[in-house]
């Protein structure tokens, strides 16, 4: 998937309902109430936080080219896609941003340093400049290497075999796999910079960075599935047990102990609206979320049917027809997974 395709894939469900910069926040993995909610409303889970270092200028540049290529129409308030954009077919992507939360970088940094070390040590070179300078990762890799007895050439051979097998079985193109291995470095063959990879493939830097994340998500899924003993170790701490943000987890605990939203807000010295954001996040993540303490069954149903009727998830559109509902109630109702209620 190219970067411009990623933007279009996100824009399609958001069309006429969200601003032109909302895909940017989603791709960056911004943990604000609005962004987190939209993921649930619009089913944008795969794209959350896939390029956390995305630069706003680079994003704006791509948006500009989408305009000039006739995918977007000028609109001051919201995204407005053209027919061309709506009909554009975008290939299935292996992205799984909500699950991996940017931790593919942790996985790949560990892997890069391990491969570099094995490459040198197996060829009897002990001194080299580590490709990863983060000390935490260095310590982790050191411990890992000692555990697997990395000086044993049979272990290196086994590690290499696992790399070949799992990467072969990953459901991405050969180009994806090539890019991934071009970011690895060894004794006689150096890694390539993003710009070098992009130039050689006539793509942009953002395209190859996105393809790397796709390749990693697909590869990590394969490792989780086939559980190769050596590579599986690299997944330690990579998958978050709870998909809630840490701050929402604290609110959840207090809520379970029976505090009201106002009490939680004053206990945590946060605004009530922030606590409401947390509740919306809880609802998104819990298919059996009980909303009864926030609104009646009738109001919930009214909001849902109004949203369907208008084919809109814009809060203002719904509020106009249901003035008795608060914005919080509307947001909450929209974020609840309907099939279970």
Q: Which residues bind other proteins (CB under 8 A)?
A: 112, 115, 118-119, 122-123, 127-133, 153, 156-157, 159-160, 163-164, 167, 174, 177-178, 180-196, 199
Between residues 51 and 115, which has the closer beta carbon with respect to other proteins?
115
CB under 8 A, 24+ apart: contacts of 75-79: 77/19, 78/15, 78/16, 78/17, 78/18, 78/19, 78/20, 79/11, 79/14, 79/15, 79/16, 79/17, 79/18, 79/19, 79/20, 79/22, 79/23
By CB atoms closer than 10 A (0-12, 13-18, 19+), residue 23 is buried
Which is closer to other proteins, CB of 184 or CB of 261?
A: 184
Contact 96, 46 (CB under 8 A): yes
Nearer to other proteins, 199 or 263 (CB): 199
Nearer CB in complex with other proteins: 138/240: 138
CB of 55 to other proteins, least distance (A): 11
- Which CB atom, from 22 or from 212, has the smaller least distance to other proteins? 212
Report in angstroms how near the CB of residue 284 gets to other proteins at its nearest. Answer: 33
Q: Is the dihedral of CA 201, 204, 207, 209 positive or negative?
A: positive
Whichever of 120 and 337 has its CB closer to other proteins, that residue is 120
Nearer to other proteins, 138 or 272 (CB): 138
- Quote the least distance from Cβ 112 to other proteins, whole Å: 8
Among residues 139, 131, 90, the alpha carbon closest in space to that of 112 is found at 131
Q: How far is the CB of 187 from other proteins (least distance, A)?
A: 8
- The string of DSSP codes covering 270-289 is --HHHHHHHHHHHHHH-TT-
The residue assigned the tokens 């193109």 is 173
Q: Which is closer to other proteins, CB of 123 or CB of 296? A: 123
User: ∠ at Cα 34 (29, 38), nearest 5°?
Assistant: 75
Q: How far is the CB of 63 from other proteins (least distance, A)?
A: 23
Output the six-digit token pair for 247.
């701050």
Q: Shortest gap between Cβ of 324 and other proteins (angstroms)?
A: 46
Least distance from C-beta 215 to other proteins, angstroms?
10
What the block records as the tokens of 265 is: 């807000």
- Core vs surface per residue 292-324: b (16+ CB within 10 A) or e: eebbeeebbebbbebbeeeeebbbeebbeebee
Nearest-CA neighbor of 116 among 186, 208, 201?
186
In the complex, the smallest distance separating the C-beta of residue 222 from other proteins, rounded to whole angstroms, is 15
d(CA 19, CA 258): 37
Minimum distance from residue 109 beta carbon to other proteins (Å): 9
Residue with Cβ nearer other proteins (134 or 296): 134
φ, ψ for residue 145, nearest 5 deg? -65, -40
């Amino acid at each position: 998937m190219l970067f411009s395709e990623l933007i279009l894939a996100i824009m399609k469900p958001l069309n006429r309902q969200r601003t032109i910069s909302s895909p940017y926040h989603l791709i960056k993995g911004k943990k604000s109430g609005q962004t987190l909610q939209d993921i649930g409303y619009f089913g944008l889970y795969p794209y959350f936080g896939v390029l956390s270092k995305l630069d706003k200028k680079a994003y704006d540049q791509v948006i500009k080219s989408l305009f000039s290529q006739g995918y977007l129409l000028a609109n001051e308030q919201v995204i407005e896609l053209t027919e061309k954009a709506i009909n554009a077919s975008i290939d299935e992507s292996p992205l799984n941003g909500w699950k991996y939360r940017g931790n593919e970088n942790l996985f790949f940094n560990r892997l890069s340093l391990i491969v570099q070390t094995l490459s040198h040590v197996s060829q009897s070179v002990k001194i080299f400049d580590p490709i990863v300078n983060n000390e935490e990762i260095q310590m982790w890799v050191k411990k890992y290497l000692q555990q697997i007895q990395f000086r044993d050439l049979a272990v290196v051979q086994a590690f290499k075999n696992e790399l070949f097998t799992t990467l072969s079985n990953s459901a991405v193109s050969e180009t994806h796999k090539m890019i991934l291995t071009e970011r690895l470095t060894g004794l006689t063959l150096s890694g390539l910079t993003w710009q070098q990879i992009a130039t050689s493939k006539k793509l942009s830097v953002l395209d190859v960075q996105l393809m790397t994340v796709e390749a990693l998500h697909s590869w990590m899924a394969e490792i989780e599935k086939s559980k190769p003993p050596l590579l599986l170790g690299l997944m330690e701490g990579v998958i978050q047990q709870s998909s809630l943000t840490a701050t929402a987890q604290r609110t959840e605990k207090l809520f379970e102990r029976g505090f009201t939203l106002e009490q939680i807000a004053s206990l945590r010295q946060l605004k009530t609206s922030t606590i409401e954001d947390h509740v919306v996040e809880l609802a998104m993540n819990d298919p059996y979320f009980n909303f009864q303490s926030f609104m009646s069954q009738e109001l919930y149903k009214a909001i849902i049917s109004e949203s369907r009727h208008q084919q809109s998830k814009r809060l203002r559109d719904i509020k106009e027809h249901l003035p008795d509902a608060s914005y919080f109630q509307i947001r909450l109702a929209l974020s609840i997974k309907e099939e279970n209620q």
